[in-house]
Structure 1
Amino acid sequence: MTMSEDKRPIRSMISPVKAKLQKNFEASDKDTAVIRAMKQAFTNDLEKRYAGLDDLFYTAAALDPRFQALPFLRGNDAERTFTSISAEATSLNEKATGHPAEKGPVQTDSCQTHPAHEDQDITTDRPQTHEIPTANNLPCKKKKTSALDQPFGDDFEARSTAARSLIDQARDEVRRYRDCETLPLKSNPLQWRKEQQDLPLLPSLAKQYLCMPATSVASERVF
């Protein structure tokens, strides 16, 4: 009844409601034999209905700002869920942009930016002076390269750096999202997502998980 009467019975509600039902179905010393049997039957029925879908529902609940604290999870399930969200948000945005991330400025060492002394033109008319070696003009040691460095080195190093940057961005965004205050239960999580301009990666992922209803009862009542 909780989900069927809600105006937005989205999938993120399943895990919190299921956890609450399981809590209520726990046997008590005051229960009669009939009540115990009924509670056990209800619990077994819940487990059959949602077998193998826990990770899906945990992620949906975590992306809903009303349930982001995940108080119904035990042990490391909450941390594992948000770690999975960070990885999934990274992958989703890589597909959307067509590349891991925008390439930032590439830092180069003095060996790359300055040609070696032996390659420079030396003017004989200019008096020769003895230059004192400094950190900037010391001769550079050439990096050892393999046969794959020349054709592929620059491309794969740049992609690796960009990918790490996007992963770090997703992790930081998840951390800031978890620091946000939990919304009241009557709030609209989808509307809240639209207003969060400082969380650019998570909305696309949240839409995929929160757009599906948790029950068909609400739509069937229309007919």
Structure 2
Amino acid sequence: MLNIPKHTLIHDVTTRWNSSYDMLERYLEQQAAVYSALTEKALKKNKDITTLSDQDVRMAEEVIEVLKPLKTLTTLMSTQATPSVSMILPLKTTVLNSMEPNEEDSPTVREVKAAIRENLEDRYSACHDFLHKCTALDPRFKALSHVDDACRDRIYNSLITEIVTMEEQSEEATGTTAVSSSPGRGHPEASESSPPVKKSAMAELFGELFKTQVGNKSSLQLVKEEVTSYTLHFTGFQPTCMVEDQ
């Protein structure tokens, strides 16, 4: 008769994400049914029963709008279909921006926004560098539009330095292995019995091509070019590489 979905009311549970949002949303959906039930003749005799005022309902609607970004965020972070660690800082920035107060906010909405901002602002501060790198390495967020230019350059320069260090360590390890396994060095018996190192299919197919392209460029130069190519593709952003050639 009321032409609303037949849903039960939801209780707020402190250990369950979004339960406050779901409780308010469900009450607003079932508001007519709740009011109709509470005003039945059999219940009117009980003077302790009260209903929400129009002001209370309006406040619930405002709070729902404030909590909606958190509902979307937690739903997105709970999915197992896509990687989520790279989304943490962009989503955090989005939520903090949505919690900025404005002149139209009621006192209650301002209090709710302030409480959410205070709770979120210092979260993940201990692992910001790691999360920034994860975000930069995700093609969906590689433009790093949630940070300023200085921070963006710092993130990519840090990645460049880390990649170069890994490349140099890999080259040193490969060089050491080649020396220790070369004829006339180390233990002859061990070198004779050791099988030759097999090249990967990629190395066999494109090894000479890679050598021709690389030329005499340093690892740092190569990494810079790769990072620049990565950031320019689809984004138009080009990092200002502050790392100097060694």
TM norm structure 2: 0.45
Q: What is the TM-score with the length of structure 1 in the denominator?
A: 0.50
